[in-house]
Structure 1
């Protein structure tokens, strides 16, 4: 399967991998700034954006397989990668497999305790049901600070301060993407993320975490560092689960400074 993707800018390529939501448009708040320095290649994962769903099992492994295949197909061997949430987990999995180069993972999934994973599913699944039910009202609801705060308190540290244009693509993507449910099941029911021994990854590994992340909570960062001992950890202050929303310039700088 060839992943739908966009390319922006010139320079050394940088591959962006999104989480649950809008596909490559999840990176809209920072893609233009990244493209001022790099050739940015942003993909739609299977079942998100304009890429058809997988025909077989949907798991973190099979979704990551699709990105590894894309890297080979596009001649991007050794490409630096950046991902957020599920995509953050996937770029770490690529690094664990020895695929790609430098990797930046923003608020990655897969490092929860058993209890935290239950809470993750019990809180995020109803939120997705709610946005699906409110699908036709989303532009209006997200167009005012009160609506954004009610709908996005789990995802952003300052939802009232965001613009509708920033958040609407991801919220619509949660509601509309055919892979949202299967991918969420894969996160909730599938295995936790495996680690990579020191010296075994192909490039630098950087993990960024929001201090106020209510989806992949901050204490999971210590587990991620234990499993990826080569990783450097960066904290985003006053930031929730989406650094590209709450700290766009800082997220851009972290990615550019830690990828070649």
Structure 2
């Protein structure tokens, strides 16, 4: 079920599935993306979990919340959305790409609210990132690029996310164009990208600070990557292992930036085993 909630004056889009009495799992997408990136996992995890996915404030079809878009603001907005749903238990958070950084920020800000972390091709573990995001740091150029997304460029963006081009469907391209046409899309995207990165890559300062904060509040963690990721390279998995040596890790073969879609069954199998092992955390 997809609904909209008014949270801090903004309409936030949310999908919920599963029995509300079951342990809560929160799914967070990446920059420029939407809750649709987690659709396959609703079907696979909702038998024994309350599954919640959210369009981050200002992304997908959610409205931005007042103020500048920052990692902290995104995390606070998500936490407020979870509270608006009446969910007061610690949540199992799964974050893809930017969503992984948001998940870690949520843990750093309110450790008691987070049961476990599942980080999927997550931002925060290295400097390297696709040139398509680095170029947004060039003054004036980023805004022009984001305001000129057409069907061809939307296809190229979708194609960069998957190793198997069969996942680059007409429906995904059409939805990407719908999101790109929203009036606040370019501003929200640029504010986020420029806070987290520069033309040279992902900023070190926020990464180092966040990883230190998360390490101070260890939680059971699962970290996975696709070995053919063109957005955040799979080499970052080694840095993730070093930062969180207690974490369980997995590298998916022949997989791009969205393993939860491209390897939906295998991802769900890993996730269910992990969640079951740590169900007492809720």
TM-score when normalising by structure 1: 0.80
RCO higher in 1 or 2 (8 Å CA, sep ≥ 6)? 1
Conserved in 2, the CA contact under 8 Å of 1:154 and 1:214? Answer: yes
Residue in 2 aligned with 1:187?
Answer: 196
The alignment partner of 2:73 has SS state of helix
Among 26, 43, 48, the residue aligned to 2:37: 26
Structure 1 residues 169 and 107: alpha-carbon distance in aligned structure 2, compared to 1, 3 A threshold: farther
> Cα distance, 1:165 vs. partner?
5.8
Conserved in 1, the CA contact under 8 Å of 2:158 and 2:173? Answer: no
In 1: Cα distance, 2:144 partner to 2:261 partner:
22
> Cα distance, 1:171 vs. partner?
3.1
In 1: Cα distance, 2:174 partner to 2:190 partner:
17
> Cα distance, 1:163 vs. partner?
5.1
Q: Which runs of 5+ in 1 are unaligned?
A: 143-147
- Which of 234-243 and 59-68 deviates more? 59-68
For residues 46-98 of structure 1, the C-alpha deviation after alignment (integer angstroms, 9 at most, x for no partner) is: 10234321221211111112122333443333111111110012212223341
Pair 1:230-2:242 in alignment? no
Residue in 1 aligned with 2:15?
Answer: 6
In 2: Cα distance, 1:57 partner to 1:198 partner:
24
Pair 1:56-2:67 in alignment? yes
In 1: Cα distance, 2:74 partner to 2:60 partner:
14
Q: How many residues of Structure 1 are paired with residues of Structure 2 in the alignment?
A: 248
Conserved in 2, the CA contact under 8 Å of 1:244 and 1:251? Answer: yes
- Which of 232-241 and 25-34 deviates more? 25-34
Structure 1 residues 258 and 215: alpha-carbon distance in aligned structure 2, compared to 1, 3 A threshold: same
Among 66, 82, 107, the residue aligned to 2:121: 107
Residue in 2 aligned with 1:218?
Answer: 234
Structure 1 residues 176 and 83: alpha-carbon distance in aligned structure 2, compared to 1, 3 A threshold: farther
Residue in 1 aligned with 2:169?
Answer: 164
The alignment partner of 1:157 has SS state of coil
> Cα distance, 1:134 vs. partner?
4.6
Conserved in 2, the CA contact under 8 Å of 1:28 and 1:166? Answer: no
Structure 1 residues 226 and 16: alpha-carbon distance in aligned structure 2, compared to 1, 3 A threshold: same
For residues 138-180 of structure 1, the C-alpha deviation after alignment (integer angstroms, 9 at most, x for no partner) is: 6xx98xxxxx5x5544321122x22516733763366245222
Residue in 2 aligned with 1:145?
Answer: none
TM-score when normalising by structure 2: 0.74
In 2: Cα distance, 1:86 partner to 1:198 partner:
16
